[in-house]
Structure 1
Amino acid sequence: MSEKRKQVLNVAEQLFYTYGFHGVGLKQIVNEANVATMTLYNHFSSKNKLVEEAIKNREERYWAYICSVSEDYSNDTFVRIAQLHGAFLKEVSPQGCMFLRAIEVYQDTDKDIADIAIKHKSKVLQYFEKLAICNNIKDYKNFAYEFLLIIEGATSMTQITDPTQATEHAITMTKALQSNFLT
């Protein structure tokens, strides 16, 4: 990926997250990314294509936080994921979920954008199922679903409280969930 494309993506992702998908124009992205308008159009054929790529960019950043535990199949795997998710919330996503916002904004107007966000959520659930299996949790599907609800709840709570407090509660709930499924 070229430096200019990466620069535009990172700026667009942050602006879309901060001001909303419809609250940001291409001119603002061009100005803040400090690139020429043609540079933007050379990499992205439309604003919606830029939104798609910005969401994919956010997804890559999320997985970079979460997947660092994928080889650590211990009893603390899910607590560690809750901690890493909390770090992501604090550092990248302190005001809620960009993926859920994309689904809400685009579900009726741009199925491609909404599908990218929906598929991300589905991949996260499947990843948690895989980790639950690796941790010998017999009812891995229900465990993964409930763990995802804890993580999603922490994400939602950042709009009411700070990410640190939301993460602390998610960790406490994760420990309780594990004790229910491992006993």
Structure 2
Amino acid sequence: MNTSIKKETLLNVAERLFYEHGFRGVGLKQIIREANVANMTLYNHFSSKEHLVEEVLKQREERYWSYLDDFVKGEIDSPFLFAVEAHGKWLEKESYKGDMFLRAIEDYAGTNNDIENIARSHKSKLLRYFQTLAKRMGEDNQSDLAHYFTLLLEGATSMTTLIGAEKATEYSMAMAKKIVQPSS
């Protein structure tokens, strides 16, 4: 395995383990063992567990935005609905056990690293994403729409652990339609 493949393997294994067992529930030894790499390989790429968590969150965020953008790209008539649908599909595939970014905020609040900032930034970016969509659509109530849809997606994410991604998405889509097509 070359260096970049080893780093990618470490990130993927760490993300899976952190997601399944929480950040505190996974040690570096377990990641090294499951990634099938030497101790030094991990430390050559990541100076600490916190640095590994930061990189995992950045990778996950990049994947999320790429997924959402690919789904919504070019949609002119109802990008908000496509964004809600894309988020629902993400929940089914990638976030069925809750939100990794919220967990990071909870687990690393007040610590001296960038983990909490990365996670909070992800949440802020969602709001800005919907503000941009509203602006592109020429909506009058851009700020309101951005907040409605950010809360809608965050609520769907939270409810996934309770009612499942499919049901949470179904409710989210119904609510989204009422927001963008109130007379329906």
* RMSD between aligned residues: 1.6
* Corresponding residue to 2:50 among 34, 48, 51: 48
Distance across 1 between alignment mates of 2:148 and 2:50: 33
Whether the aligned pair in 2 keeps the contact of 1:132 and 1:140 (CA below 8 Å) is yes
Distance across 2 between alignment mates of 1:164 and 1:71: 23
Q: 1:1-183 residue pairs with structure 2 within 5 A? A: 2-180=4-182
> Cα deviation per residue 1:30-68 (whole Å; 9 max; x = unaligned)?
011111111100000000000100111110111121011
Could you tell which deviates more after superposition, 71-80 or 147-156?
A: 71-80
Whether the aligned pair in 2 keeps the contact of 1:73 and 1:131 (CA below 8 Å) is no
> Cα deviation per residue 1:62-116 (whole Å; 9 max; x = unaligned)?
1121011454242321111111111111111101111111111111223411000
Change in 2 beyond 3 A, CA 1:20/1:26: same
Whether the aligned pair in 2 keeps the contact of 1:30 and 1:37 (CA below 8 Å) is yes
Structure-1-length-normalised TM-score? 0.94
Whether the aligned pair in 2 keeps the contact of 1:86 and 1:163 (CA below 8 Å) is yes
Whether the aligned pair in 2 keeps the contact of 1:70 and 1:131 (CA below 8 Å) is no
Whether the aligned pair in 2 keeps the contact of 1:154 and 1:170 (CA below 8 Å) is yes
Distance across 1 between alignment mates of 2:72 and 2:177: 18
Number of residue pairs matched by the alignment: 182
Question: Match of 1:2, SS?
Answer: helix
Distance across 2 between alignment mates of 1:165 and 1:47: 35
Q: What is the identity percentage for the equivalent residue pairs of Structure 1 and Structure 2?
A: 49
Q: What amino acid is aligned across from residue 97 of structure 2 in structure 1? A: Q
Distance across 2 between alignment mates of 1:169 and 1:111: 37
Unmatched segments (≥5 aa) in structure 1: none
Change in 2 beyond 3 A, CA 1:69/1:138: farther
